[in-house]
Amino acid sequence: MDIPQGYKLLFRSSPFLDLLGPFYYREDSEGFIVGIRVEEKHANARGLAHGGLFMALADIALGYSAAFSKDPPLKLVTTTLTTDFAGSAKVGDWLEAKVDIQKTGSRLVFANTYICVDDERVVRASASFLVAS
């Protein structure tokens, strides 16, 4: 499947992300934008992108963006992840998550994202992360 211009394979993965992916990213002036093309393996029984895919994308985008907002990157652990589903996506759609870092403290980081299909916001998510030592 084709990937939008400017995206590269996500620079870090894990066994779990390898099962779901491939995930892609690009950088802009505000940080990372993370994306994935919805495949058959991501579909629920209704043929739409499973909510778990949206939640995984949100966690990846929020966590990577928060971690790499500092130099050296922070070591973070997700403490909360809240998602609101306002739409859906079908197989073949490109999902894109752009992140806003709300606050970086000495112990916690707070961030928000919207996941879009084209220009339509289909998921709103927010998370907090514990800064691990």
- Fold of the domain spanning 8-131: Thiol Ester Dehydrase; Chain A (3.10.129)
Q: What does the block give as tokens for 133?
A: 């030592």
- The pLDDT tens digits of the residues spanning 82-94 come to 999 999 999 999 9
Assess whether pLDDT exceeds 90 at residue 101: yes
Beta bridge partners of 48: 90
* pLDDT per residue as tens digits for the range 24-51: 999 887 778 999 999 999 999 999 999 9
Q: Where are the domains of the chain?
A: 8-131
For residue 18, list its beta bridge partners.
Answer: none
Retrieve residue 6's tokens. 């400017």
- Phi, psi of 14, rounded to the nearest 5 degrees: -155, 170
In this structure, the number of other CB atoms found within 10 A of the CB of residue 124 comes to 15
Beta-bridged to residue 108, according to DSSP, are: 130
